[in-house]
Structure 1
Amino acid sequence: MWNNILGHEQQKEFLQRYLQAKERPHALLFLGAEGLGKKQLALAFAKTLLCPQHSGEDGCESCRLLNLEDGNLSHPDFLLLKREADEKTGRLKDIGIDQIRDLTGKAAFAPVMSDRKVLVLEDADRMTVPAANSFLKLLEEPPAGWVIIMLATREDKLLSTILSRVVCLRFAPVPVALVEQELVRRGLAAEQAAVLARISEGSVGLAVSLAERQVFEMRKQAVAFLEALPLQTPMNYLAGRVWQQKGFERQPALLLCQLLQLLLRDLLMLKLRTGNPCYNQDLATNLAEQSRNWSVKSLHEALAAVQDAFWNLENNVGVRMALEAMALKIDNAYKE
């Protein structure tokens, strides 16, 4: 069952037993990093749970109204609650109290087609405090027949009182070899699939997203910057970088930071001779040569500069300013 979802066999087995159990927990928490397939499995499980035959594959009316392949989520007994975009900035807001109140209002309505309702709550760790406290009341007195599936990446961002009222299924990264096989199956070249599988750290969703975002072109720019160190005239060099030009957007800037972080981690592992395989395994020979010119201290400082830039970008600091400050700090660290 759910063979189209890669990995997570223990979680699948638990959910299969759940379907047959006489007594079932009313709330589940799927906890793990982004892109591991938590939402994909939650939706597939919801479809199976609402299907009269608990198969999710028999072509019944229930399955037709929860058709995951074409994105049809119109089943009357299925609820999906997620973060909404800010009207001005377009950025996703935390889940607010009004959304939870609207959800609570729906608790008064009985199931229409099934003997239960299924709620999938995305980004449960991104509720405001008032929203989380309101949602807690729903968990404490769950509506009859409701099954609540919460998705989250940060356990520390959830109220302890919420955690105590759910059964937690932890999602670990999918083995890199399986991710690589899946990427090849989707049409990626074997060499690119091998790199993306390791860069994504076992996340199929992230690997696919990186492929779609032309990650190898962006990585060339990150590598070129590190190879240019030390910068003789830093401001002149930066003026010619595409990521310092007006109009370079926030998401590509975040990706640049992520790739620099992975490259610097590789340099650190090679410097320390840990024996761990590089994330950027296709560049291992080049990176091993570069690592000789770095000190362990300077690599730690460079990594801290990238982490600061990533945090600044996530908190709406100007893109050019954040990347310029990062580049200058890395250059200074290299020269020490």
Structure 2
Amino acid sequence: MEKNEMWEHILGHEAQKAFLKNYLQAQERPHALLFCGAEGLGKRELAFAFAKALLCASHTGVDNCESCRLMNIEAQDCSHPDFLLVKREFNTEKNRYEDITVDQVRALISKTAFAPVMGATKVCIIDDVDCMRAEAANSMLKLVEEPPEGWVLLLIATSVNRLLPTILSRVVQLRFAPVALPLVEQKLVEQGIAPEQAAVLARLAEGSIGQALKLYEGDKQNGVAYNVLEYRKQAWAFLEALPLNMPLNYLAGRSWLDGKLQRAEAQLLVQLWQLLIRDLLLCKLQLYDRIYNIDLTDALRAQCRGWQVAGLKKALTATGEAYLALGQFVGVKVALEALALKIDEAYKE
């Protein structure tokens, strides 16, 4: 690895890497960059690597200088005096992450009175900037409009639609698209995942290495362990059982209705139904090259014969409604049971 290739371990996004490399050498630089794109694409990892390079004495991020040692990203120990991080705080009582508050932004603004300590640059990462309360966003606008001398703001967002237009107009956007599927597959195989499973996971995750690993290993951050391929077996078994002669009797024996599923697991099951039904619709339309569950191609082609296009579209709508319902804290068992009955009804139309 060359000295200026400190982020080559991050998958894809060559255009974004080239821009950031040029930024490090430029005389005049934009003071605020927005890293935006779907979850799990590597934008957050690249933003931290770039922050390390900005603070590094040689602007490489790999020369083991004092700044690099203080920006120990691998150990999540970023104690550099010229590095600031604003992020959502976890509420243990509500078991969820809260939006960034105006007090957090005001605390950040209060630090603008202090000049950089170790060099000429002070770097601030604002993570999940699209999850910021309205008052906080308005307060941050002044910081983006009139940044202190030597400051660089790195904003990270999943949805730019949630950001104020006035903020968007004052930042340079780096948009992150899905990574090419072969690259994701290769990375998953390097992680010890079987090639045939890696091919499916890459497609289910839509080119997101982070999402693919989450599907395989579970949501470790929130303490939920699952393997998506095991859940997919259950989702597919239900679709193969259609039409149900005695729906309530059939559902009474399903493990996913025994009340033990956590909400995140239930949402995953609904997503898998949605993707499988989507693939059935694509097979019905003979668009075989666009399906996600490529290892089930033959089974999908056989199963789609019993469906009508209108029924598949109705079932897809039902899965979307069920996912939203689970996000609004409708009971897990109620939501899944209602969805299963709707899918069965759609099949019988």
TM-score per shorter chain, which class? over 0.9
> What is the CA–CA distance in structure 1 between the aligned matches of 2:114 and 2:232, rounded to whole Å?
51
Q: Does 1:294 align with 2:299?
A: no
Deviates more, 1:85-94 or 1:9-18: 85-94
Aligned partners of 2:141 and 2:167 also within 8 Å: yes
Counterpart for residue 328 of structure 2: 315
Alignment match of 1:61 (pick from 66, 89, 97): 66
> Residues 100-134 of structure 1, C-alpha deviation per residue, up to 9 Å, x if partnerless?
12222222222222321111111111111111111
Alignment match of 2:277 (pick from 264, 267, 273): 264
Give SS of 1:308's match.
helix
Q: Using the TM superposition, give the Cα deviation of residue 87 of structure 1 relative to its aligned residue in structure 2, in angstroms.
A: 3.2
> Residues 161-203 of structure 1, C-alpha deviation per residue, up to 9 Å, x if partnerless?
1110000011111000010011111111111111111111110
Q: Using the TM superposition, give the Cα deviation of residue 237 of structure 1 relative to its aligned residue in structure 2, in angstroms.
A: 2.0
State the identity %: 60
Counterpart for residue 40 of structure 2: 35
Counterpart for residue 147 of structure 1: 152
Q: Does 1:89 align with 2:89?
A: no
Counterpart for residue 158 of structure 1: 163
Q: Does 1:240 align with 2:253?
A: yes
Counterpart for residue 24 of structure 1: 29
Which amino acid letter does the alignment assign opposite residue 197 of structure 1?
A
Q: Does 1:332 align with 2:345?
A: yes
Alignment match of 1:304 (pick from 317, 323, 326): 317
Q: Using the TM superposition, give the Cα deviation of residue 235 of structure 1 relative to its aligned residue in structure 2, in angstroms.
A: 2.2
Counterpart for residue 252 of structure 1: 265
Unaligned 5+ segments in structure 2 are 219-226
Which amino acid letter does the alignment assign opposite residue 70 of structure 1?
A
Counterpart for residue 169 of structure 1: 174
Counterpart for residue 287 of structure 2: 274
Instruction: Please give the TM-score of this superposition, normalised by the length of structure 2.
Output: 0.93
Q: Using the TM superposition, give the Cα deviation of residue 277 of structure 1 relative to its aligned residue in structure 2, in angstroms.
A: 3.2
> What is the CA–CA distance in structure 1 between the aligned matches of 2:250 and 2:142, rounded to whole Å?
57
> What is the CA–CA distance in structure 2 between the aligned matches of 1:207 and 1:312, rounded to whole Å?
24
Counterpart for residue 223 of structure 2: none
> Residues 223-254 of structure 1, C-alpha deviation per residue, up to 9 Å, x if partnerless?
11111112222222222222212231011111
> What is the CA–CA distance in structure 1 between the aligned matches of 2:107 and 2:255, rounded to whole Å?
45
Counterpart for residue 100 of structure 1: 105
Alignment match of 1:205 (pick from 189, 206, 210): 210
> What is the CA–CA distance in structure 2 between the aligned matches of 1:78 and 1:319, rounded to whole Å?
42
> Residues 71-111 of structure 1, C-alpha deviation per residue, up to 9 Å, x if partnerless?
21221211222212223221112222222122222222222
Give SS of 1:251's match.
helix
Deviates more, 1:105-114 or 1:221-230: 105-114
Which amino acid letter does the alignment assign opposite residue 144 of structure 2?
L
Q: What is the root-mean-square deviation in Å for CA atoms of aligned residues?
A: 1.2
> Residues 195-216 of structure 1, C-alpha deviation per residue, up to 9 Å, x if partnerless?
1111111101011111102111
Q: Using the TM superposition, give the Cα deviation of residue 293 of structure 1 relative to its aligned residue in structure 2, in angstroms.
A: 0.8
Aligned partners of 2:31 and 2:147 also within 8 Å: yes
Aligned partners of 2:259 and 2:332 also within 8 Å: no
> What is the CA–CA distance in structure 2 between the aligned matches of 1:39 and 1:280, rounded to whole Å?
28
> What is the CA–CA distance in structure 2 between the aligned matches of 1:101 and 1:259, rounded to whole Å?
42
Counterpart for residue 11 of structure 1: 16
Give SS of 1:41's match.
helix
Q: Using the TM superposition, give the Cα deviation of residue 276 of structure 1 relative to its aligned residue in structure 2, in angstroms.
A: 2.7
> What is the CA–CA distance in structure 2 between the aligned matches of 1:232 and 1:89, rounded to whole Å?
42
> What is the CA–CA distance in structure 1 between the aligned matches of 2:118 and 2:204, rounded to whole Å?
44
Q: Report the CA distance shift for 1:98/1:234 in structure 2 as closer, same or farther (over 3 A).
A: farther
Unaligned 5+ segments in structure 1 are none
Alignment match of 1:110 (pick from 90, 102, 115): 115
Give SS of 1:276's match.
helix
Aligned partners of 2:10 and 2:46 also within 8 Å: yes
Give SS of 1:126's match.
coil
> What is the CA–CA distance in structure 2 between the aligned matches of 1:258 and 1:99, rounded to whole Å?
35
Give SS of 2:118's match.
coil
Count of residue correspondences: 336
